[in-house]
Amino acid sequence: MNVFYHHVYEYVKGIRRLILHTTLKTYCDRIEDRLQKKGIAYLIYPLGKNKINVFFGDDACIEVIKRFNKQNLFDLTDEEDFILGALLGYDTSKQCERYLGRKCRRAAQMSRSYAA
């Protein structure tokens, strides 16, 4: 929970506008309680049997994630993955490299499937 509390601190201080925190399901009630008391928008998605992904931050950032309409990060399109990385504050150049790599891999998969 200490990492979660630090993430809340970073958000409140304006260091980050969106946070993705992965933790055990057993902490879900405590996390929701804290975010509600602080008036911070959030989304919680299951991650396997025992874990959850908690997105929290600015209302607009949370709304973007809601509009992706996907609970599993693996289901994000290349563009959604890029947007999420940017919202989370990841290095923009590295996000561009990641996006281009994903696009190249997808194109290679498509050409292999057409050749088969």
Residues 64 and 10 in one domain: yes
Q: How far apart are CA 17 and CA 86, in angstroms?
A: 11
Q: What is the pLDDT of residues 54-64, one digit of tens each?
A: 999 999 999 99
62 and 80 share one domain: no
* pLDDT 10s digits, 36-84: 999 999 999 999 999 999 999 999 999 999 999 998 999 999 999 999 9
Task: Indicate whether 101 and 113 sit together in one domain.
Answer: yes
Predicted TM-score of the model (pTM): 0.89
Within this chain, do residues 61 and 4 fall inside the same structural domain, yes or no? yes
Q: Do 53 and 100 lie in a common domain?
A: no
In the chain, the number of structural domains is 2
Residue 82, number of CB atoms within 10 A of its CB: 20
Instruction: Identify whether residues 64 and 91 lie together within a single domain.
Output: no
Q: Which domain holds residue 63?
A: 1-74
Same domain, 19 and 64: yes
Per-residue pLDDT tens for 11-43? 999 999 999 999 999 999 999 999 999 999 999
Calpha distance 87→55 (Å, rounded): 11
Residue 77 CB: number of other CB atoms within 10 A? Answer: 12
Q: What is the 8-class DSSP label of residue 89?
A: T
